[in-house]
């Protein structure tokens, strides 16, 4: 068995004295592990960092075997990504939720979205928007997508500013007003046709509150898991940056 594919490094663990087991999210073969001989060497370690894009040739005698990877670097983002606290936490968190995908099951749209997110991760505000969108995409990919294009009560498509914490459906201003204290806020950048051009600090916090609730309820808790420490670390880094921008040092 042999195939060649592009992959994004999700994680690496040492195997023996000099090898490593590498976990990739590949474009056509999904989340896939393989053994890299010499993966612990000084030559290969820089390639096998989370967030890097690589070209991988996977070989095994049988399809169900772990197999081996021969890997070459394509886009080595890790040095930049791991140079900031939000980058370290963000990449670690994105990898942790990508691991929720079933192994060896292709998810090309998720691969493309992860790749796009990592390419635009320098600014913490842009990174936060990408993380929230990726969490929404993962909910949809796992069968728990939120219905944010129509009001769950009236069917209207305009003035959607709330989300029902029970159904995950959007709710319009008029329909939700009597229950506003029980509803989640739908930030403008997540509304149908919305953009992140006029983003506020509250918008980002509301976005994380929204995706966090449904990820925990539908995906993590049924698996006996909770949100990763990396997610909390990323949000804390975002909060610190927001506070610093609001109250700059004299």
41 in the same domain as 88:
no
Residue the block writes with tokens 């506020």 = 200
Query: Where is the domain boundary, 48, 76, 104?
Result: 76
**Residue 250 Cα distances to 237, 244, 245, 246, 247, angstroms:** 21, 11, 12, 12, 9
Do 47 and 71 touch, CB atoms closer than 8 A? yes
CATH number for the domain including 242? Answer: 1.20.1440.120
**pLDDT for the residue numbered 65:** 93
Do 172 and 154 touch, CB atoms closer than 8 A? yes
**pLDDT for the residue numbered 248:** 67
Q: Which residues contact 91 (CB under 8 A, 6 or more apart)?
A: 50, 51, 78, 81, 82, 118, 121
114 in the same domain as 42:
no
Query: Where is the domain boundary, 76, 106, 139?
Result: 76
**pLDDT for the residue numbered 242:** 85
- Beta carbons within 10 angstroms of residue 224's beta carbon: 6
Do 60 and 66 touch, CB atoms closer than 8 A? yes
**Residue 176 Cα distances to 149, 162, 207, angstroms:** 15, 7, 18
Residue 166 falls in which region: left (phi positive, over 0), alpha (psi -120 to 50) or beta: alpha
Tens-binned pLDDT, residue by residue, of the chain (250 aa)? 999 999 999 999 999 999 999 999 999 999 999 999 999 999 999 999 999 999 999 999 998 899 999 999 999 999 999 889 999 999 999 999 999 999 999 999 999 999 999 999 999 999 999 999 999 999 999 999 999 999 999 999 999 999 999 999 999 999 999 999 999 999 999 997 666 667 899 999 999 999 999 999 999 999 999 999 999 999 999 999 888 876 665 6
142 in the same domain as 112:
yes
Q: In what order do the strands lie in the sheet with 169-172?
A: 147-151, 169-172, 160-163, 184-185
Do 163 and 173 touch, CB atoms closer than 8 A? no
Query: Where is the domain boundary, 76, 105, 133?
Result: 76
Range of the domain at 6: 2-76
174 in the same domain as 236:
yes
**pLDDT for the residue numbered 249:** 57
58 in the same domain as 161:
no
Kindly state the tokens that stand for 131: 């993380």
232 in the same domain as 204:
yes
């Amino acid at each position: 068995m042999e195939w060649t594919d592009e992959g994004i490094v999700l994680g690496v663990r040492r195997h023996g004295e000099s090898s490593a087991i590498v976990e990739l999210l590949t474009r056509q073969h999904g989340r896939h592990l393989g053994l890299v001989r010499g993966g612990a060497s000084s030559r290969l370690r820089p390639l096998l960092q989370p967030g890097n894009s690589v070209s991988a040739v996977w070989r095994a005698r049988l399809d169900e075997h772990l197999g081996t990877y021969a890997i070459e670097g394509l886009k080595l983002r890790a040095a930049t990504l791991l140079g900031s606290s939000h980058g370290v936490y963000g990449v670690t968190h994105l990898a942790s939720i990508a691991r929720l995908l079933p192994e060896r099951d292709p998810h090309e749209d998720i691969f493309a979205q992860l790749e796009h997110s990592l390419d635009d991760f320098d600014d913490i505000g842009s990174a936060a928007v990408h993380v929230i969108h990726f969490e929404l995409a993962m909910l949809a990919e796992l069968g728990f997508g939120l219905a944010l294009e129509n009001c769950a009560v009236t069917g209207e498509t305009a003035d959607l500013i709330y989300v029902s914490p029970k159904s995950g459906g959007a709710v319009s201003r008029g329909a939700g007003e009597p229950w506003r204290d029980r509803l989640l806020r739908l930030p403008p950048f997540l509304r149908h046709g919305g953009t992140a051009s006029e983003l506020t600090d509250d918008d980002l916090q509301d976005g994380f509150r929204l995706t966090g609730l449904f990820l925990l309820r539908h995906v993590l808790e049924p698996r006996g898991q909770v949100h990763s420490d990396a997610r909390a670390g990323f949000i804390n880094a975002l909060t610190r940056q927001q506070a610093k921008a609001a109250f700059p040092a004299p």
